[in-house]
Amino acid sequence: MLFVDYNDEGRAAGLPERMFCKRSPSFTSRLITGLSGALLSEAGFYTTLRPQVEMESPRAYYAAVDPISARSIFLMEDIAYTRGARFGNPTTMYIDRRQAESMVTTLAALHGTFWESPQLPALPWLQTSLQFQQRVNATIDFEKRSMVGIERSEHIAPRDFLRRRTEVYPAAMRSLELNVRGPRTLLHSDVHLGNWFAVGEFGMGLYDWQCLSTGEWALDVVYAVMSALTVEDRRAWERDLLALYLEELARAGGQPPNFDQAWLRYRQQVFHGLIFWLYTIGSGRMQPRMQTQQVSEVNVARMTQAAVDLESLDSLSY
């Protein structure tokens, strides 16, 4: 946290006296975020795209990245102070029905604003969802560590998922190939519950835009739903949440498919979020520890069950 004292002119201008300072000081913190292009994407979002969308998300006062060393600094709004934001993860925060509705509405605002925007392909730092993963694959042993993640998840993943484990990584890459064929918009791409914050009684907002990419909307929606909700709540609410998302997407400027088409896309896009968390739980000694074991296990348990419930492996043949 950064606290700043101003002279009379600064105070009169209303300059922020509290700022959240985010950096990448260590080698391990730069290993993935720098080589994958994530830092440049996040800086680009805050400086170029964030001002264009009305949604619950922090604003940045300054963002800079050294492309050679991958050192970075972001001076951001302290939303805990300015908005009373509350943070959590699947082990500490329960998401109720109205908060879940706020989450899909927030995603609809993001996706609708940038729906098929000609601005996006012109941004040199913005990759498609497939390009982002291909770049990560070329940087680290992502497939191997994801398979290790499955081995480490044998006590929490459904048996029906484990018996088809060899299909999971190819399915993840296939799902991304499908993701970039559809109408493209701006994707947050890492919408697990730890990257959301609660405001007010039912509002939900997004932060941490390092994995920004372009692709079809469903990647974000299913990832958010299966990470944020308990298995029982997801099963009970996900069709209604998808229908609400489609309504809000149209209101925000997007062109949603019909429900049956959307449901297929939703089922197909389980793998992006799932493979991220399998990698996290399977990471090696030299790789940064990004989450606690407990948080990783809750996410993997929820997502592997979603893959089984939604018959996602079989959905890719359509």
Q: 173: how many CB neighbours lie within 10 A of its CB?
A: 16
What three-state secondary structure class fits 201? coil
Query: Rounded mean pLDDT of 211-235?
Result: 98
pLDDT range class, residue 272, cuts 50, 70, 90: very high
User: Any idea which residue has 């359509």 for tokens?
Assistant: 318
| Mean pLDDT, the chain, integer | 92
The 10s digit of each residue's pLDDT in 131-175 is 999 998 988 889 999 999 999 999 999 999 999 999 999 999 999
> What pTM did the predictor assign?
0.93
Answer whether 279's CB lies under 8 Å from 137's CB.
no
Quick one: what percent of the chain has pLDDT higher than 90?
A: 75
Single-letter amino acid, residue 242: L
Concatenated DSSP letters of 90-147: TTT----HHHHHHHHHHHHHHHHHTTT-TTGGG-TTPPBHHHHHHHHHHHS-HHHHHH
Strand order in the sheet with 203-206: 86-87, 196-199, 203-206
User: Any idea which residue has 């299966």 for tokens?
Assistant: 226
The 10s digit of each residue's pLDDT in 172-221 is 999 999 999 989 999 999 999 999 999 999 999 999 999 999 999 999 99
What three-state secondary structure class fits 259? helix
Reference 192, options 311, 91, 120, 108; nearest CA is 91
Reference 304, options 142, 134, 171; nearest CA is 171
| pLDDT over threshold 80, residue 280 | yes
pLDDT range class, residue 23, cuts 50, 70, 90: confident
Going along the chain from its start, the domains and CATH numbers come out as 86-315 (3.90.1200)
The burial class, CB within 10 Å (0-12 / 13-18 / 19+), for 232 is exposed
Give the residue, 82 or 32, on which the prediction is more confident.
Answer: 82
Answer whether 31's CB lies under 8 Å from 287's CB.
yes
pLDDT range class, residue 317, cuts 50, 70, 90: confident
